[in-house]
Amino acid sequence: MTEQQHQEQQQQDHQLSLGTAAARNLATTTKSVPQMQGITSRWLLKLLPWVQASGGTYRVNRRLTYTLGDGRVTFVTTGADIRVIPRELGELAPLRGYDDDLTLDAIAGRFTQQEYAPGEVVVERGRPVDRVVLVAHGKLSKIGAGEFGSDAVLGTLAGGDFFGEQSLLRTEEGEEPPTWEHTVKAVTTCTILSMTQADFQATLGQSSSLQQHLDEYRASPRRAHNAHGEAEIDVASGHDGEPVLPSTFVDYEASPREYELSVAQTVLRVHTRVADLYNQPMDQIEQQLRLTIEALRERQEHEIVNNRDFGLLHNTDLSQRVHTRSGPPTPDDMDELLSLVWKDPAFFLAHPKAIAAFGRECSARGIYPDSVDVGGHKVPGWRGVPLFPCNKIPVSSTLTSSILLMRTGEAAQGVVGLHQVGLPDEYQPGLSVRYMGIDDKALLNYLVSAYYSAAVLVPDALGMLESVEVAHGGAGA
C-alpha cells in the first residue's frame, strides 16, 4: 500500500460525516453553455450602417470621374530578378489604353533593376527628367523645398509607385525639358526598375502604333476636373451686372459599380438521438445553432475586411493610402490618415497589435490620448475619433499591418454594409436557418446562410495607413 492510500485509509477510519466525493453522486452539476474562443467583439459589424439590398444587388452611382494616373504597377519575381508585368505599364499616363502586347513586352524588357541603400539619392531635384522609375520594393521619401526654404519630406513612395513618366514624351522644339520637382531618397533598402529616355526612344522608333498613340495623347484635350477627378460643374460667383452665366450639367458614370451580396453557408447536422435524449437542461440544437452562427458572423467580418472583390482593404482607393514615415504608427501618421478622411470620420479600425504599437509610440512621446465613450464602452481614440480593435486585419510575417479610417452611412457618402432582411426562415437580420429534413442516418440537417457585402460610396470615405510595424523595438522605439 502506497503512502497516499495509507493516508486515505486513515481518513476513512476516522471520518465522522459524508465525504464530498460520495456527496457529488447526489448533486446536480452546474454547467455553462458551450464556450467558443473564436468569438470576438466584431466591432465592424456593429458599427457599420446596414443598407437593405433588395434583389441582392446594390448599385453605387457616382459623378463621372476621369482616371488621374494614380495607379500602381505590379511586378513578377523570379529569385532575385524582378520584372514589371507589361500590361501594368498602362498605369503610366502616356501609355494608358495602349494594348500592343509585343511593344509593351519590348518596353518592359528595357527596364533595368537597381538596388539603393538607405540614404542614397535616386533622383535629384532640378536635374532633367531622363528616365521613368518604378518602385519594386522598399520605401523612399520625396524631398522638396519647404515654405521657409529648408528641405521637407513632401511624400512617401513604396512598392508599386512610379515617377518620371513624363520622360516618355519627347520635348518639342522650343520647349524647355522637364526637370525633377523633388529629390527622391531611399529610406529603407530599395529595389527599383528604371528605363532611360534613350532606351524608350529606341523602342519607339520600332513601333508606329506606339508613336501614333503618344501623338494622340499629346494632342488630346485634358478635360476639366476637380481635385477628386470628377467632371467639373461650371458655376459663376462674385459677378456684377448681367454677364452671360455658364451653362453646365452633372455627368454620371456610364457603367456604375454594382455590389452583389456574398454568402457564407454551412449545413449543421445533429443526430436525432442527441436531440431527443440529451436535450435537458440545454437545447442541443439551439446551442449548436448559436455557435455555428457565431462562426458565420466571424467569417462575415473577415470577408468584409479581406475579400478581394468588396473587402475594405482591397477597395481603399490608391490615392487614399499613406505609408508610415518610420515604421510603427506614430501620432503624426494618424494625423496624416485623418487628413485623408477629414469629413466627419467615424472610427479607426486596427489589429490589436497595431493599437498596442500606437500606444507605445504615444507613451514614448509622453502623449496620453483620451478614451472615447461609445455606447457605454471606453475605447482608445485619437483626436476624438475612436480606435476599435479588429483581429481580421492581417499581420504579415514581417510583423506589419494596416490601420483603416472610415466615414460611414449613406447620408454621409460613406462606407455601408449590405444585407437583405425578410429572408425565408430568417433567424437573424440577413441570416436564415432552413430545416432540410432527416436523412437515412437519422441526422437532422439545417442550412445556415448569411448574406452580406460592403460598399464604399465615394473614395474619400475610406483611408488606409499601410506598412504599420507592430513589432517591439521598431524604428520608432
**Domains in the chain: how many in total?**
2
Does residue 342 lie within any of the structural domains?
A: yes
Query: Does 462 share its domain with 361?
Result: yes
Final residue of a structural domain among 164, 197, 219 = 219
Let me know whether 48 and 88 are in one domain.
no
Amino acid 229: pLDDT: 58
Grid cell digits, residue 106: 519590348
Q: What are 162-206's pLDDT values in tens digits?
A: 898 888 887 666 577 788 888 999 988 888 999 998 888 888 888
Has residue 225 got a pLDDT over 90? no
Question: What's the chain's length in residues?
Answer: 477
Provide φ and ψ at 119, rounded to 5°. Answer: 95, -15
Statement: residue 47 has pLDDT above 80: yes
DSSP characters over 112-155? EEEEE-TT-EEE-TTSB--EEEEEEESEEEEEEE-TTSSEEEEE
| Whether 264 and 403 share a structural domain | yes
368 domain residue, yes or no: yes
CA distance 355 to 348: 10
Higher pLDDT, 70 or 160: 160
Q: What is the pLDDT of residues 378-396, one digit of tens each?
A: 889 999 999 999 999 999 9
Domain residues for the domain of 318 are: 43-56+259-469
As a whole number, mean pLDDT of residues 357-365 equals 93
212 and 309 assigned to the same domain: no
The pLDDT tens digits for 400-438 are 999 999 999 999 999 999 999 999 999 999 999 999 999
pLDDT digits (tens, 9 = 90+) for 227-239: 555 666 767 777 7
58: left (phi over 0), alpha (psi -120 to 50) or beta: beta
**Confidence band (pLDDT; 50, 70, 90) for 327?**
confident
pLDDT confidence band for 158 (50 / 70 / 90):
confident
293 shares its domain with 398: yes
On the question of pLDDT at 5 being above 90, the answer is no
> Are the beta carbons of 354 and 386 closer than 8 angstroms?
no
Contacts of 390 (CB under 8 A, 6+ apart): 43, 44, 301, 305, 349, 350, 351
Same domain, 92 and 161: yes
Most confident of 104-118, 177-191, 442-456: 442-456
Rounded CA-CA distance 213/12 in Å is: 100
We report the CATH number of the domain holding residue 164 as: 2.60.120.10
Q: What is the mean pLDDT of residues 247-267?
A: 84
Q: Tell me which of 189, 219, 249 is where a domain ends.
A: 219
Are residues 309 and 456 part of one domain?
yes
Residue 244 CB partners (closer than 8 Å, separation 6+): none
Residue 92 falls inside a structural domain:
yes
Do residue 314 and residue 444 come from a single domain? yes
Question: pTM value?
Answer: 0.70
Predicted confidence at residue 477, as pLDDT, reads 40
What is the per-residue pLDDT for 452? 96
Do 329 and 416 fall into the same domain?
Answer: yes
d(CA 446, CA 287): 13
Least confident range of 13-27, 240-254, 258-272 = 240-254
What is the structure's pLDDT at 69? 47
- Would you say residue 473 has pLDDT above 80? no
In which band, very low, low, confident or very high, does the pLDDT at 475 lie, cut at 50, 70 and 90?
A: very low
CA pair distance 127, 106, nearest whole angstrom: 27
Residue 270: pLDDT band with limits 50, 70, 90 = very high
Q: With respect to residue 6, please indicate whether it lies within any of the assigned structural domains.
A: no
Whether 191 and 337 map to the same domain: the answer is no
- On the question of pLDDT at 322 being above 80, the answer is yes
User: Is 16 among the domain residues?
Assistant: no
Q: How far apart are CA 329 and CA 294, in angstroms?
A: 32
Mean pLDDT for the chain overall: 86
The whole-angstrom separation of Cα 113 and Cα 119 is 18
At 345, the pLDDT band (50, 70, 90 cuts) reads very high
Residue 1 confidence (pLDDT) above 80: no
pLDDT given for residue 474 in this prediction: 46
pLDDT exceeds 50 at position 68:
no
Lowest mean pLDDT among 96-100, 305-309, 377-381, 411-415: 96-100
Answer yes or no: is pLDDT of 476 > 50.
no
Is residue 176, in this structure, part of any structural domain at all?
yes
Q: Is the pLDDT of residue 149 over 60?
A: yes
Q: Is residue 440 situated within a structural domain?
A: yes
444 part of a folded domain: yes
Bridge partners, 158 (sequence order): 139
Q: What percent of the chain has pLDDT over 70?
A: 89
Residue 66 has pLDDT above 70, yes or no: no
Find out whether 344 and 467 touch, Cβ atoms under 8 Å.
no
Same domain, 162 and 285: no
Q: What are phi and psi of 200, to 5 degrees?
A: -65, -40
- Output the nine-digit C-alpha cell for 328: 510603427
Calculate what percentage of the chain has a pLDDT beyond 90: 47
pLDDT of residue 273: 94
Q: How far is CA 269 from the centre of its chain?
A: 36
- Rg of the chain over all Cα atoms, to the nearest angstrom: 31
CA dist 369 and 406 (Å) reads 19
Chosen domain end from 219, 247, 276: 219
Position 261 scores a pLDDT of 95
**Based on the domain organization, do 50 and 89 belong to the same domain?**
no
Residue 454 has pLDDT above 90, yes or no: yes
